[in-house]
Amino acid sequence: MIESKDIKEIVKNLGADLCGVAPVERFNEAPKGFHPQDIYIDSKSIVVYAKRLPVESLFATNCVPYTYVNNIITQKVDELGFEVALKLEDQGIKAIPIPSDDPYEYWEPENSYGRAILSLRHAGYLAGLGVLGKNTLLINKEFGNMIQIGAVLVPVELEGDTITTYEGCPTDCNLCIESCPVKALNGNTVDQKLCRPYSNYRTEKGYILKKCNVCRRICPNYLGIES
């Protein structure tokens, strides 16, 4: 019988920097339609992993390097999920990989609001990979918020990792909220209708570029949390 530690070893050997496991019971508060069992009815455990990305791209004055880094890391984490699913299937374990970013179905055009089929930042929290910051990003103790998250759903009961208890946001810190140029953050969520048009734009040639990352780079814990 495969154990949690065996799956984490497989995932890390395939290139993940972080990996944790969340039993499906931890997702009881997921919104209706966005629970792991809404994606795959037999889900019993959610294996969540992350890869880090080159941090200095945050500080390039031209937004192309940051866009490029984000595009590559999304692709790499998606490929990792694909490989993890294949490897697990080779061992007789069914596995459903979840895309790291898109595609997704839910879309409210009037609010420019999209919702992924599974909230990976919440899954990361529930699998012990970090805590949620007021900028809505997962903050990992070692790598800060410079990580990209992916997950696979498996129909196997696995031991869950301990949910982290370290402090992601000092109580008196509101830097991300105060620094957002369009005031899209409220400490719990991001108003996508405000953030999306400001942080993404389409060039005349048709490229989509990420031109804002202030809430990520201003965070004192963007590189990790000092003990």
Place of tokens 């805590």: 131
Q: Which residues of 169-193 are buried (b: 16+ CB within 10 A; e: fewer)?
A: beeebebbeeebeeebbeeeebbbe
Please tell me the distance from the alpha carbon of residue 149 to that of residue 93, in angstroms, as a whole number: 21
Question: From the CB of 145, what's the least distance to ligand SF4, in Å?
Answer: 7
Residue 19, interface with ligand SF4 (CB under 6 A)? no
Among 9, 151, 215, 223, binds ligand SF4 (CB under 6 A): 215
* Residues binding ligand SF4: number (CB under 6 A): 26
**Strand extents, DSSP E, the chain:** 18-23, 45-52, 96-98, 106-108, 113-115, 131-132, 138-139, 147-154, 200-202, 208-210
Region near ligand SF4 per CB under 6 A, out of 3-11, 39-47, 100-108, 169-177? 169-177
Question: From the CB of 212, what's the least distance to ligand SF4, in Å?
Answer: 3
CA 83, chain centre distance (Å)? 18
Q: How many CB atoms lie within 10 A of CB 55?
A: 16
Region near ligand SF4 per CB under 6 A, out of 63-71, 93-101, 116-124, 171-179? 171-179
Residue 190, interface with ligand SF4 (CB under 6 A)? yes
Among 64, 182, 209, 223, binds ligand SF4 (CB under 6 A): 182
User: Which tokens go with 71?
Assistant: 């595009």
Residue 84, interface with ligand SF4 (CB under 6 A)? no
Among 14, 93, 218, 223, binds ligand SF4 (CB under 6 A): 218
Place of tokens 């140029």: 181
User: Which tokens go with 136?
Assistant: 């809505």
Q: What DSSP state is assigned to residue 144?
A: B
Nearest to 121 by CA among 37, 218, 195, 20: 20
Of 79 and 101, the one with the shorter C-beta distance to ligand SF4 is: 101
Among 173, 193, 209, 224, binds ligand SF4 (CB under 6 A): 173
Residue 140, interface with ligand SF4 (CB under 6 A)? no
Among 43, 74, 135, 140, binds ligand SF4 (CB under 6 A): 135
Region near ligand SF4 per CB under 6 A, out of 10-18, 39-47, 148-156, 174-182? 174-182
- Three-state secondary structure call for residue 190: strand
Nearest to 224 by CA among 178, 164, 172, 180: 164
Q: Where on the chain is the footprint of ligand SF4 (CB under 6 A)?
A: 133-135, 168-169, 173-176, 180-182, 184-185, 190, 195, 198-199, 212-215, 218-221
